[in-house]
Structure 1
Amino acid sequence: MAAFLETERLVLRDFTDSASDLDEVFALHDDPEVMRFINGGRPASRDAIRERTLPQLLERFAAFDGGRGCWAAHDRADDRFVGWFALRPVQPDRATVADLGYRLRRDAWGRGYATEGARALVDKGFRDLRVNRIVADTMTVNARSRRVLEKAGLTLVGQFHCDWPEVIEGSAQGDVAYALTREAWAAGRGAAH
């Protein structure tokens, strides 16, 4: 497996259009707890995963010299699929601002994988991909995701409300936006070393 990025416990690799990647993504997106803060935990459609989600995970961006913006994450110890991580340019042809995201299998929760992968992508974005600002958002009530973003170095920049097509539990409290600039990242790295 060709790795895009390796951390202490994770291997991030490009997605493929293989049946195994389709199966893994379908199982991940079909878990109601995983999708609770995304769509209220509604069941996934295998056709929708094949026709919409997987092509989005395979997308290449001019901003990253034709590279991908989403990677399958595997545990290095046993090669088990644990989820995916994304760092996608907000504008496909400009690397100035990138959006950080992740989705992990429930059996990988609470083990530090989300923080480890998010930190690695933040570092990769600023160090290698010419990103100047990394942003992310989540539902206000999603305390676990907010903690991951903070541990990855992002700071809260505001709260906002969206008109969602379907109301899900906690959506009345809105969403929160986080961000980290290259300058703040560099200053933090200097203090940490």
Structure 2
Amino acid sequence: MKIRDTDLLVLPGLGNAADDDWQGRWLARMPTARRVEQHDWHKPQREAWVDALVEAVAEATKPVVLIAHSVGILTIAHASPLLDKSKIAGAFLVGVSDWERPEMAEKFGDHGFDPVPHEPFGFPALLLASSNDPTCDVERAEVWARAWGARFVVAGEMGHFNAASGHGPWPEGLMTFAQFIATLTPPSP
């Protein structure tokens, strides 16, 4: 597939995507990309975030490729049974965060992202993980990738794949995304 033939739905994590990080830059440069807007970017709630994603997929007119970061990935995991799989070509997942950690409930209350589902997505996915991500142990990310049926790649010591860890332009990520999207085929209705 080619990017122009898709609806790219970007699911940022906690706090939304800044204009200077890789997601913000991709949104600005890819004409078919749009952000899945959330009501509250600073206090994620599973039900609201899942509803926004389900609605965005339903509104798509081209094959959908999901691009998710951090808790945006967990949103896909929870939404997967509700998504119209006949519209989704694949998902590019970067830097999942672990919302099963006790401190997440202490900080965000009953957010609903735990426990993390272990059911296959039903569409191709690639999960990039960092060996030193402070928000999720690489071993846990690998367990989830296997459960979801996602290909798993450890990208090295990348932090949390955000601007603070040096992932502003992130050309290597863009090349990996281009390689991933080239492997996809339009979903079957």
TM-score for both structures, normalised by structure 1: 0.32
Task: Give the number of the structure whose residues are more often strand, by fraction.
Answer: 1
TM-score for both structures, normalised by structure 2: 0.32
